[in-house]
Structure 1
Amino acid sequence: RGQQELNTLRQGLGSLASAQYRSGGIDPSLALFLSSNPDDFLDKASSLDQLSATQAEALTKIQGKQRTLAQQRKEAQDKLKDLADTSKVLDDKKKEVQGKLGDAQKLLNSLTAQEKAALASDESRANRSTERPNLGKDVPASQVGAAALAAAQTQLGKPYSYGATGMATFDCSGLTGYAYRQAGVNLPRTSQEQANAGTRIGRSELKPGDLVLFFGDLHHIGLYAGNNMVLHAPRTGTVVRYESMDNMPFQFGVRIG
């Protein structure tokens, strides 16, 4: 659209220039001397001055439009580069996830029928267990943490869905983000970003409502519920539930507020 506007301005300037060229371009004093009607010539000269002013204004508009268009093109090129970089990162992440899924499928295929049945039974029992377990008597470190944990507890039993932030379904960071929004705090979207949203703490320092990060690449997050239990949205096929922190490789905690 900007280029079209610039082209329109240029066409208008070209028409002005053509009209000026057709008027002759001889010295004004000589033209006045040769004119058979000096009054008519002076009227035309006044019109020509107005035409020149219009031409100058058109030139200014064109210069401004050219500068704006150049800036817009540069911004567009920068955004295209950012999109290309992001696309590459997403493609690499997709390949990584596909590799992990392949490894997980190989592991699952290596299990005996009895082991698969036991695993399915444990998973089904864990999903049905939405009652509050023994969480001990630890006190949250802040009202914010207490409010976040309370909000997360209202979502027990909701299904896991990758990329979901509520209210019907959640992924792990979607649940923690939702919980802290109810407490008046906006967290970043992903678990890796949320890992840097507050003060990092060790396992012995954890209080109910603190964020807890798992796995070396920090791809999983939940809320510490007390007594070595985490409240989280585990993975596809599960629901928001309590679970022992010993079931996953704990990395560190994060205290918000």
Structure 2
Amino acid sequence: MRYSRQANHGKASPDDNKLARSSALGLSASKRRRASNDDALEDALHEYYQQWHGVPYRYGGRDQNGIDCSSFVRQTLGTIESLDLPRTTSEQAVRGEPVDRSELSPGDLVFFKTGRSGRHVGVYVGNGRFMHASSSKGVTISRLDNIYWRRHYWQSRRVTSAPR
């Protein structure tokens, strides 16, 4: 199932209770729709993660025998949002639009500089966490405020459709 970050065009939300709560908090209709879409996307990302949790890291890997970070991100957003991302981290790092770290939404890409030329990518899943293929832990969820990831954070990007 594809979870869009776009408005749901008047259709009923999958979770009207969350929308009602956000309405009571004074959020605009467009922000309520985005929050509802983010909740659905966050749920989909966690479901997808359960299928991949613990799969070992393998440079150049593309399946459950071993996968690298950019392939994991490519497959995740290809499956969940029908996005066709490039294969490498460096190509993914120039796709979409930059997004401030304080404005991250589920499905955004988070990038790290892990060495002189080393780059790493993951998918933001909400609540300050991202899922990725870690070279030491395999597919896992980590916190952006972890001392290692905080120190190596580079940029975030939002990719909502294929480039024209």
TM bucket normalised to smaller: 0.5 to 0.7
TM-score (norm 2): 0.62
Measured in 2, the distance between the counterparts of 1:252 and 1:193 equals 14
CA RMSD of aligned residues (A): 2.5
1:242 has 2:141 as partner: yes
Structure 1 unaligned blocks of 5 or more:
1-137
Q: Give the structure 1 partner of residue 93 of structure 2.
A: 195
**Residues 228, 142 of structure 1: CA spacing in aligned structure 2 closer, same or farther, 3 A cutoff?**
closer
Greater displacement, 149-158 / 241-250: 149-158
Tell me how far 1:168 sits from its aligned partner. 2.5
Between Structure 1 and Structure 2, which shows a larger proportion of helix residues?
A: 1
Q: Which amino acid aligns with 2:88?
A: T
2:77 is the counterpart of 1:180: yes
User: Within 5 Å, which residues of 2 pair with 1:134-213?
Assistant: 141=38, 147=44, 150-183=47-80, 184-213=82-111
Alpha carbons of 1:145 and 1:256: their partners in 2 closer, same or farther (altered >3 Å)? farther
Deviation at 1:206, TM superposition (A): 0.4
Percent sequence identity is: 32
* Higher-RCO chain (CA-CA 8 Å, sequence separation at least 6): 2
151-160 vs 188-197, which moves further: 151-160
The 1:227–1:145 alpha-carbon spacing in structure 2 relative to 1, beyond 3 Å, is: closer
Amino acid at match of 2:137: T
2: distance between equivalents of 1:181 and 1:207?
17
Segments of 5+ residues of structure 2 without an aligned counterpart are: 1-34
C-alpha distance in 1 between matches for 2:112 and 2:51: 23
Q: 1:232 aligns with which of 132, 141, 146?
A: 132
Amino acid in the other structure paired with 2:94:
N
Distance 1:169 1:215, change over 3 A: same
Number of corresponding residues: 119
Q: Give the whole-Å Cα distance in 2 for the aligned partners of 1:241 and 1:166.
A: 15
Greater per-residue strand proportion: 2
Cα distance between partner residues in 2 of 1:157 and 1:164: 14
